Chains A and B, each alone.
Chain A
Amino acid sequence: MPTLVSHPDEVKVISRRFGQGAADIEKYLELDGYKAVQRAIAEGPEWIINTMKASGLRGRGGAGFPTGMKWSFVPKVSEKPKYVLVNGDESEPGTCKDHVLFLHDPHSIIEGTMIAGLAIGSRLGFIYLRGEYRYLLKIVEKAVADAYAKGFLGKNIFGSGIDFDIITQTGAGAYEVGEESALMESLEGKRGVPRIKPPFPAVVGLYGGPTVINNAETIANAPHILLMGGEAYAKLGTERNGGTRLFGISGHVERPGVYELPMGYSLRKAIYEVAGGIKDGKKLKAVVPGGSSCPVLTADEIDVGLDFDQMGKAGTMLGSGGIVVLDETVSIVEFALRVISFYQHESCGWCIPCREGTDWIKKTLTRVHAGGGSKKDIDNVQYLAENMMGRTFCPLGDAAAMPTLGFVKKFRKEFEEYIDGKRVDTPLITIDQLVGAH
């Protein structure tokens, strides 16, 4: 069971029920559960969407798209059924916030799904969990069953005359399925390959119907926002970055864990105060601030606020809120190799730049790391990454190219050390391809 952590600087909105047994529906009800959805029924779709807009909530999956606006894009009238889809395919390395959320407060996700459904006029929601989260799926399945048993789900919810159903769904191991359209493909029983956009999911999504797809954390925020009011939620954060979010701090810190911090909170403080500083008194070398796809920050670059805009200005991204801290002992070359190996393993293979680019960067870095590199290899890696940026079918190509570019540009010297034979490591053998590989 993941250990729960706590820090005085935390502002507990979404995590306020953590550790209180709220997976139990009675406990959840005790803690204001299913009040927001009743309010939502009473106030109607327009109010929900306006409140969400006012909250300044931006997508917690990584892209940071304003949630209220996303919901408002769904056409009011549609021939095909509309769907709400909760993305719990949390797979970005360094990210485990939804893990905690599903574990401690599954009903908030169910309630959030219902609210989104009410907002867009959908009658069916899906909660999709990555396959590895089987034990969490059990928890969510039980929560859904309990909600049905109470009559909160199903026909005529809360006497509103509205029906709403939720289906839980599991993946089976594929990072790419975290991409919204790939998730829909997977949910439709297909290979988790992204779809051509436009059309966007809000217009043509799951089963061809208009679909709102949100990260689990985003959805779980909705009940809190409706209860506390959009403006109040917004005020917790910074301008255009409303509220709080779950940050998973991992790697070389004394107190790794998932913390709920207000948007805009200082990255330095998050590392040194909230997470207790660098493990074993070592020095900080670098931070990957929002999951492995975010460009690395050096130890000198951490005086930045944790919100989408400030991180963007700092040349990186807030991403999924997974802060990975690297101490002075870490080999950036090895780290970069491990990162690209992941993307190579997870590339869906659909488009050429991502499929071939991740593979060649991985091959080249493997050789450099093993001491067989040449100066030209560093340029080649950079060339490959630059030529993947913005050229791939979906964001996975960028996700692989961005950190690679960051490592090569900011730590070029270390790559040169490997090439010059000043530094030698045991070769890193990374994961083989899939079993079925021909």
Chain B
Amino acid sequence: MADVTFTVDGKQITAPAGTLLIEACKTAGIEIPAFCYYPGLSLQAACRMCVVRIEKMPKLQTACTTPVAEGMIVYTETPDIAQARKATLQLLLGNHPLDCPVCDAGGECELQDMTFKYGAADSFYAEPKNHREEQKWSPVVYFDRPRCILCYRCVRMCGEGMDVFALGIQNRGSSSVIAPNVPAHMSPDDLAHVDCEQCGMCIDACPVGALTSGTYRYKTRPWEMNHVATICTHCGDGCKTTLGVRSTSDGSEIVRGDNRDKSGINGDFLCNKGRYAFDFANHEDRITQPLVRQPNGELKPVSWEVALDHVGSKLRALRDTRGGKSIGVIGSNRITNEEAYLLQKFARTVLGTNNIDHHRTADYVSFAQSLAGHTGRTASLNDTLKAPAILLVGGDPTNQSPATAWNLRTDVRLNRARLYVANSEEIKLRRQAKAFVQLAPFGYNAFAAYLAGDNAAAASAASDSNALSAFRDAVKAEENLLILIGSELRGAELKKLIDFGLTIPGAKFALLSDYVNSRGAADMGLLPDMLPGYMPVGSPSDLATEYAVPNEPGLDMLEMFDSAGRGNLSALYIVGSNPVARYGIDPASLKDTFIVVQDMFLTETAALADVVLPAANLYEKSGSVTNSYGDLQQVNKAGDRAGVRSDFEMIVRIADKIGADMRKLVPFGKGLRADMGQSRGAQSGEADRHAVWLTANNLEPRLSPFDAFAILDEIQRLVPGYNILRLQLLSGNDQHLSPVAPTPLVQIGTRRDQVLPANDSLFTSGTLGRFSTMLGDLQQNEAQRLIQIQTAAD
């Protein structure tokens, strides 16, 4: 729309016609207070806090519902406005409990802030306040009714934002109350509950302390925490979560996760895992001492030095006696890019083996190879919020990548995007879809063929051929289509779908995977046949040239275990992975293999190990991760636990013990003559600008092999597609990368399909999720609900 110019508090402002006054003012730096207004949700005009004076209007007007108009003259802070807001606050405070000293929201409360600003401190009511008991709606959502100011943000967030509709408004007038969808009288425990996705968005949206989080309530005060914005370790969306950490006797404990930052790639959104499932770090089963198996078979705690010596000497001996190719390495989907890169480099250059793999949750190799020769065809998570049309084939974002689902719903709601869903299941996102076609089980290959024009494939793709045909016509008529692909599609069928998509002008693609760095693990070459950046082993590449990399592809995950079973695998080095449980490996097959496991817990895999090294998790380290879409983001260290080490450090120290050249493994030491801080100065509380500049421009000294940035330098230098903008990364922003396999193509379809989707639900997260008490509680909560439904049905 055309721009209009208007005046606010004497300041000339220009904004597109139709912009809401409250938004236009915010953009211009004029903050208008509001409780009920929430960007992107439907308008309420209920709280009356955003009232402003508009010339020629007799009454004060609500800025949240007024579109800007040419020549409009607006005042946002006059005595009558201040009085109106003050009176509104006085009315709210009349029944508000004023238990701010113990309220979770104390210090982060919009009502407190407004009261402070407008000085509505005097109370003139003699009547007692309406007190109600706090209600536990779910393990993670608590409702304190007297604190509620009825802004309806939670109701809209749950309904419009989440498409869950678990919260409503009941009664009317001063008896109005936010009500959850399981009323007390219909609940076996006579208490009201929410039957929902437990995302906690209602808590996020609540301007006061009416909705509080089960993980955080009454734990601490906001100002007693440090707030660290980092990337959630769970699904492949890679949301930014802000972790509140507090010092403890053995490190620093994460006490809260939320989205207070809202600067991340996830925008307003954070799901239950990002919000609550940080508690594995504090789980009582966590290992904090290295364990070495004794001759009697027991795992015994030893010092780090002893453990690392043992690992180093043993691996060196096995490499030197049985050859590097007798050793296997398994990486993780939850370690940083730097760690993943370092691990494969360690395997290839120190151990001398290409036997390296990880739990693949999507076929990124075929994805990259299918897009070889094309540029600008990979989508960012940001595209899911803006694309005019989306084709979702396979996958279930609602449960497996909730931020993607949030964005798609938002895109449909606010931008009227056209969503096309093809799935063998009736996934929830079909409710937002313009067209949904239910595919036959395993019908993706036929569907891809059908899209590409093979009409004979229709019968095996879906039972409803008319729907299928209309679906294809609609999809083919689109331009700038965003094609989201679930991990069900792999190899040749994935290529078939992408080939079809490439015929649509402006189409972009993304392949959804399951964990925070599933994509990074593939990009970084945790693969037996691919070097970082999908450079095939044996073909010329910078990496292969610079370091001595074995020329033959190594063993993949299953081959390694087969080899172990035959007694040919001398050692297996497993970093942050639990393949024994995931792939159902027979423990007996590993009896002749020397196993080293880096993990937080004594998992099924770790329990078989000869050495277990207690590892830090993603929230306890720094580095970078790449989400499903190829968006790179920075991970910041939030929590800390005495006794554990980052995987990066452990790899380096093991390499050191093996006798590797540290400077070759981690190219540190560059820039030793740099300014070491003599001339630096930062005012208290400010960033050290000198340091920021040096870091941003890749000029800071790498002082030791433990500096992950030294590896990032190398990733940037050697991995095609990882042309990182440092300042973007360090500012906590996301950046889209698209490593693309080199042409000519390696034949797709000849590789073994080793993709094993995690199929996590909203309340599971692989092995790690089992150690999250909160996720456990939510699973139990969900199970109980299902039993109740079953009982009710009987």
A and B from one complex: yes
Q: Does A51 contact B (CB under 8 A)?
A: no
Asked if B92 and A352 sit within 8 Å, CB to CB, the answer is yes
Residue of A nearest to B43 (CB): A196
Instruction: For the complex, give the distance between the alpha carbons of A392 and B150 in Å.
Output: 15
Given the known interface contacts A363-B127, A387-B84, A391-B51, the answer about A356 and B91 at a Cβ–Cβ threshold of 8 Å is: yes
In contact, B174 and A438 (Cβ under 8 angstroms): no
Known: A360-B94, A438-B177. A353 touches B172 (CB 8 A): no
Cβ < 8 Å to B, chain A residues 352-388: 352-353, 355-360, 363-364, 367, 372, 376-377, 380, 383-384, 387
Interface string of B426-460 (1 = CB under 8 A from A): 00000000000000000000000000000000000
A24-32, A91-99, A233-241, A341-349: which lies at the interface = A341-349
Segment at the B interface, from A10-18, A205-213, A257-265, A429-437: A429-437
Q: Which of B59, B83, B125, B173 contacts A363 (CB 8 A)?
A: B125
Contact indicator A391/B84 (Cβ below 8 Å) = yes
Q: Counting CB contacts under 8 A, is B124 at the interface?
A: yes
Q: Does A65 contact B (CB under 8 A)?
A: no
Contact (A391, B171) CB under 8 Å given A196-B43, A349-B150, A353-B87: no
Q: How far is the CA of A360 from the CA of B123 in the complex (A)?
A: 12
Rounded to whole angstroms, the CA-CA distance of A191 and B145 in the bound complex is 21
Residue numbers in A under 8 Å from B124 (CB-CB): 376, 380, 383
CB of A393 within 8 Å of the partner chain: yes
Chain B positions 143-171 with a Cβ under 8 Å from a chain A Cβ: 145, 149-150, 169-171
User: Which positions 551-609 of chain B face chain A at CB distance < 8 Å?
Assistant: none
Q: Which residues of B contact A377 (CB under 8 A)?
A: 126
Q: Closest residue to A174 on the B side, CB-wise?
A: B172
Q: Knowing A380-B124, A391-B51, A391-B88 touch, does A191 contact B173 (C-beta < 8 A)?
A: no
CB proximity of A257 to chain B, nearest CB, Å: 32
- Determine if A344 and B174 form an interchain contact, defined as CB atoms under 8 angstroms apart: yes
Contact yes or no, A437 B171, CB < 8 A: yes
Q: How large is the interface on A (under 10, 10 to 19, 20 to 34, 35 or more residues)?
A: 35 or more
B45 touches A351 (CB 8 A): yes
Question: Which chain B residue has the least Cβ–Cβ distance from A357?
Answer: B91
Of chain A, the residue at the smallest CB distance from B87 is A387
* Contact for B48 among A348, A358, A391, CB less than 8 A: A391
Kindly state whether residue A390 has any CB partner on chain B within 8 Å: yes
Question: Across the two chains, which residue of chain A brings its CB closest to B168?
Answer: A191
B421 in the interface (beta carbon within 8 A): no
Q: Write the nearest CB–CB distance from A362 to chain B, whole angstroms.
A: 9
Main secondary structure of the interface of B (DSSP, over half): loop
B112 at the interface (CB under 8 A from A): no
CB distance from B403 to the nearest CB of A (A): 30
Interface residues of A in 135-189 (CB under 8 A from B): 174, 176
* B170: A residues at CB distance < 8 A: 436, 438
Instruction: Give, as a whole number of angstroms, the nearest-CB distance from A96 to chain B.
Output: 24
Q: Separation in Å of the B214 CB from the closest CB of chain A?
A: 21
Say yes or no: A391 contacts B175, CB within 8 Å: no
Contact with A along B46-74 (1 / 0, CB 8 A): 11100100000011100001000000000
Nearest-CB residue, chain A, relative to B125:
A360
The A-contacting residues of B in range 74-103, CB under 8 angstroms, are: 83-84, 87-88, 91-92, 94-95
Kindly state whether residue B347 has any CB partner on chain A within 8 Å.
no
For A387, the chain B residues whose CB sits under 8 A away are 83-84, 87-88, 91
Interface centre among B94, B172, B175 (most CB of A within 10 A): B172
* A350 close to chain B: CB less than 8 A: yes
Q: Does B752 contact A (CB under 8 A)?
A: no
Find out whether the CB atom of B45 lies under 8 angstroms from the CB atom of A352.
no
Closest B-chain residue to A198, C-beta based? B65
B51 (CB) vs chain A CBs: closest residue:
A391
Q: How extensive is the interface on chain B, given as a class?
A: 35 or more
Q: Is the CB of A345 within 8 A of B48?
A: no
Could you mark each residue 386-409 of chain A with 1 if its beta carbon is under 8 Å from any beta carbon of chain B, else 0?
A: 010011110000000000000000
Q: Cβ of B127 and Cβ of A355 under 8 Å apart? A: no
CA A180 to CA B146, docked complex, whole Å: 31
- Would you call B132 an interface residue if the criterion is a C-beta within 8 Å of the partner chain's C-beta atoms? yes
Per-position 1/0 for B457-468, Cβ under 8 A of A? 000000000000
Task: A220 to B58: give the CA distance in the assembly, Å.
Answer: 33
Residue from the list B59, B84, B173, B179 in contact with A347, Cβ < 8 A = B173
B174 contacts A347, CB within 8 Å?
Answer: yes
Complex CA distance for A351 and B132, rounded to whole angstroms:
21
B375 on the interface (CB 8 Å rule)? no
Contact of B91 among A344, A350, A360 (CB under 8 A): A360
Q: Which residues of B contact A391 (CB under 8 A)?
A: 48, 51, 59-60, 84, 87-88
B47 touches A433 (CB 8 A): no
Is B750 in contact with chain A by the CB < 8 A criterion? no
Chain B positions within 8 Å of A352 at CB level: 46-48, 88, 91-92, 149-150
Question: Which B residues, 1 to 53, have Cβ-Cβ distances below 8 Å to chain A?
Answer: 43-48, 51
Cα–Cα distance between A437 and B176 once the two chains are bound (Å):
8
Neighbouring B residues of A372 by C-beta, 8 Å: 126
CB-based contact A358/B173 at 8 Å: yes
Asked whether A349 lies within 8 Å of B48 as measured between CB atoms, the reply is no
* Distance in Å: Cβ of B675 to nearest Cβ of chain A: 57
CA distance A352 to B86 in the complex (A): 12
The docked-state distance in angstroms from the alpha carbon of A196 to that of B145 is: 26
C-alpha gap A384/B94 in the complex (Å): 12
- Structural contact, A438 and B88, CB atoms closer than 8 A: no
Given known contacts A367-B126, A390-B60, A433-B173, A351 and B92 CB-to-CB distance under 8 angstroms: no
Q: Decide: A355 near B84, CB < 8 A? Known: A347-B174, A349-B173, A438-B175.
A: no
Docked-complex contact B125 and A191, CB < 8 angstroms: no
How many Å from the CB of B577 to the closest CB on chain A?
Answer: 49
Chain A residues within 8 Å of B88, by CB:
352-353, 387, 391
Chain B residues with CB below 8 A from A434, complex form:
171-172, 175
A174: which B residues are within 8 A, CB to CB?
A: 172
A358 to B177: give the CA distance in the assembly, Å: 17
Q: Contacts A367-B127, A376-B124, A391-B51; is A359 near B171 (CB within 8 Å)?
A: no
Other-chain contact of A353, B58, B91, B173 (Cβ < 8 Å): B91
Most buried by A among B43, B45, B92, B132: B45
| Closest Cβ–Cβ distance, residue A409 to chain B (whole Å) | 19
Docked Cα-Cα span, A390 to B179, in Å, equals 30
Bound complex: CA A376 to CA B427 (Å) = 61
Q: How far is the CA of A355 from the CA of B150 in the complex (A)?
A: 10
User: When chains A and B are docked, how far (Å) is the Cα of A433 from the Cα of B130?
Assistant: 13
Output the residue of A345, A360, A390, A438 with the most chain B CB within 10 A.
A438
- CB B510 to nearest CB in A, in angstroms, measures 35
Complex CA distance for A12 and B144, rounded to whole angstroms: 58
Candidates B58, B83, B169, B174; contact of A356 at CB < 8 Å: B174
Contact with A along B106-125 (1 / 0, CB 8 A): 00000000000000000011
Q: Collect the chain A residues with CB atoms within 8 Å of residue B83's CB.
A: 387
CA distance A436 to B172 in the complex (A): 10
Q: Roughly how many angstroms separate A360 CA and B174 CA in the complex, as a whole number? A: 10
The answer to whether A393 and B45 touch (CB under 8 A), given A387-B83, A387-B87, A438-B177, is yes
Nearest-neighbor residue (CB-CB) of A359 within chain B: B174
Task: Knowing A390-B60, A391-B48, A391-B60, say if A349 contacts B175 (CB, 8 Å).
Answer: yes
Question: How far does the alpha carbon of A377 sit from the alpha carbon of B126 in the complex, in Å?
Answer: 9
Q: Can you list 30 A-B contacts with CB-CB less than 8 angstroms, sorted by A residue number?
A: A196-B43, A196-B45, A345-B173, A346-B172, A348-B173, A349-B174, A350-B44, A351-B47, A352-B46, A352-B88, A355-B150, A355-B173, A356-B92, A356-B94, A356-B174, A358-B174, A359-B174, A360-B91, A360-B125, A363-B125, A364-B127, A372-B126, A376-B124, A380-B125, A384-B87, A387-B83, A387-B87, A391-B48, A438-B171, A438-B177
The 4 closest A-B pairs by CB, nearest first: A349-B176, A387-B87, A356-B91, A347-B173
Give A contacts to B, CB under 8 Å.
174, 176, 191, 196, 344-353, 355-360, 363-364, 367, 372, 376-377, 380, 383-384, 387, 390-393, 433-434, 436-438
Beyond the given A352-B92, A355-B173, A376-B124, could you list 8 further A-B residue pairs with CB under 8 A, ordered by the A residue number? A348-B176, A349-B172, A352-B91, A356-B174, A364-B126, A390-B60, A391-B59, A438-B145
